[in-house]
Amino acid sequence: MPTRRSRGLCLWWLAIFLPFSILPALAWEREPLSVFHERRARLVRETGGDGVIVLFGYKDSDMAASVTTFHQNENFYYLTGWNEPNAVMLLIPKGPKPGTGSELEKEILFIPARNLFEEKWDGPKLGPGDPDASARTGFSTVKALTLFQSELLEALKAFPKIYTELTPQPESGEDYFQAEAVSKLRGMAPLATLADARPHVERQRAVKSQAEIALLRKAVDASVEAHLAAMKTVRPGVWEYEVAARMEYEFHRRGCEWPAYPPIVGSGFFSTVLHYDADDQQMKGGDVVVMDVAGSYSGYAADITRTLPVNGHFTPRQREIYEIVLGAQNAAMAAARPGMYIGRGKNSLHEIAYKYINSHGKDMHGNPLGQYFIHGLGHSIGLNVHDPMNDTLPLQAGMVVTMEPGIYIPEENIGVRIEDDILITQDGNEQLSSRLPRAVEEIETLMAGQ
């Protein structure tokens, strides 16, 4: 792509009316706690051990939790695995070791004290004094949130620096959250130097663990089922929002907690608008519809797009444009392997896709079609649908990225995007969304209900 209570009612409805065989395992899946510990230890090593590391988790108010399900600040979750509000992480190194970094001396998770009245509304919570607090969090030390400042100031007696998030993640909407956290730290420790931990964390996040890849597979599989259902739903007279709703239903029933991004279902002219998410048009025969829709499973986002003919059959011109986009995607995926580059530039995967598009077909005025491929070829996915990744660096095994060439011709009301998720392997790549048809004949056959 380029309310907690209401959720409970929805799950009750599912349990009553859906066949038992398709009820998903709805518990949030989490990587082993040892994985999060090793990430924290690696972060201490990579920052050099010359400062403590502080990260804040979201509060309920940061998520507008009265109208949406709470989910954690991505970097905080990536390092802690903790998905409850109002938490703080403090990492204390043993001290710098020239040339080797430093080892993790102490790690503390600060969480709120239990509030029995609030638990009547939101359910039982873990408290810092609970005997299983360490076992359930993976932190050797769990303390009350009210003790954070005193513990920070004690640790700073040995260190002059605090590593924290000084920059917001792009497209995350966390600009205010990040600025507020920095202001809070400056107020607590005005003499400390602040340094940005984000680049160190993002380098880790770019290459996925085996457990992360397993969660991404589940997000992709659920999203593929949503697209398969949509292929049987799209027809003239159906509203775009009906298709979006059917797709959300399909990936939710398979365990996804929320959409990975606002569903994009754009037909006719709106197939040429990249991030169109109003989804409020009635689809017409003779048009195509671009469906960029996917779910997030245990916090991990898929990102899949298909373009369909509304009446079930591509016109000759629509088929021509579609097969050019498909050819560009095939060419880029065939070349995707460690050492290649996904961003723009000479000999990059983007350049391969662009050259294919620009050398196949013309617009209504006889001009090459490269000018209508107006976005990047792909991006990393993970805890964010646009997960952090430096696309000026070569791909590595373990990265999971999208391949999404597109052609958008407003003058002809034709927009085509085909997007799949691929895992970079040691000797090439694996298409995680391969079950979802891409060929014209397969799409038309499936839309016909065969």
3-state helix/strand/coil string of 185-252: HHHHCCCCEEEECHHHHHHHHHCCCHHHHHHHHHHHHHHHHHHHHHHCCCCCCCEHHHHHHHHHHHHH
Largest CA distance in the chain: 73
The listed CATH number (3.90.1010.10, 3.90.45.10, 3.20.20.450, 3.40.350.10) that belongs to domain 23-205: 3.40.350.10
Sheet of strand 300-301: strand arrangement: 258-259, 295-297, 300-301
What's the pLDDT at 9? 35
Nearest Cα to Cα of residue 197 among 40, 53, 343, 353: 53
Q: Whose structure tokens read 């050492």?
A: 339
Three-state SS for 93-114 is ECCCECCCECCEEEEEEEECCC
Strand-pair category, 264-267 with 406-409: unpaired
What's the pLDDT at 2? 63
Joined tokens for residue 311: 């009446």
CATH superfamily for 207-447 is Creatinase/methionine aminopeptidase superfamily (3.90.230.10)
CA 269, 271, 272, 274 torsion: positive or negative?
A: positive
What's the pLDDT at 5? 30
Which residues, 6+ apart, have CB-to-CB distance to 40 below 8 Å? 53, 79, 80, 89, 91, 104, 107
Alpha-carbon distance values, 97 to 44, 103, 154, 357 (Å)? 11, 9, 21, 52
Instruction: Locate the DSSP E strands across 112-192.
Output: 141-144, 161-164
What's the pLDDT at 209? 97
Q: pLDDT tens track of the chain, all 450 residues? A: 663 333 333 433 333 334 333 434 446 899 999 999 999 999 999 999 999 999 999 998 887 666 778 889 999 999 999 999 999 999 999 976 655 567 899 999 999 999 999 889 889 999 999 999 999 999 999 999 999 999 999 999 999 899 999 988 777 778 889 999 999 999 999 999 999 999 999 999 999 999 999 999 999 999 999 999 999 999 999 999 999 999 999 999 999 999 999 999 999 999 999 999 999 999 999 999 999 999 999 999 999 999 999 999 999 999 999 999 999 999 999 999 999 999 998 889 999 999 999 999 999 999 999 999 999 999 999 999 999 999 999 999 999 999 999 999 999 999 999 999 999 999 999 999 999 999 999 999 999 986
Instruction: Quote the CA–CA distance of 288 and 305 in Å, as a whole number.
Output: 13
Alpha-carbon distance values, 306 to 25, 196, 223 (Å)? 27, 39, 11
Q: Could you tell me the residue ranges of all domains in the chain? A: 23-205, 207-447
Q: Whose structure tokens read 């457990």?
A: 211
Instruction: Quote the CA–CA distance of 301 and 379 in Å, as a whole number.
Output: 12
Instruction: Quote the CA–CA distance of 266 and 234 in Å, as a whole number.
Output: 12
Contacts by residues 349-355 (CB-CB < 8 Å, ≥ 24 positions apart): 349/377, 349/378, 349/403, 350/376, 350/377, 352/328, 353/328, 353/329, 353/377, 353/405, 354/328
On the question of a common fold for 23-205 and 207-447, the answer reads: no
- State residue 53 phi and psi, 5-degree precision: -120, 125
Q: Whose structure tokens read 């016909």?
A: 448
Which residues, 6+ apart, have CB-to-CB distance to 334 below 8 Å? none
What's the pLDDT at 11? 36
CA angle 420, 426, 430 (to 5 degrees): 25
Predicted TM-score (pTM) of this structure: 0.91
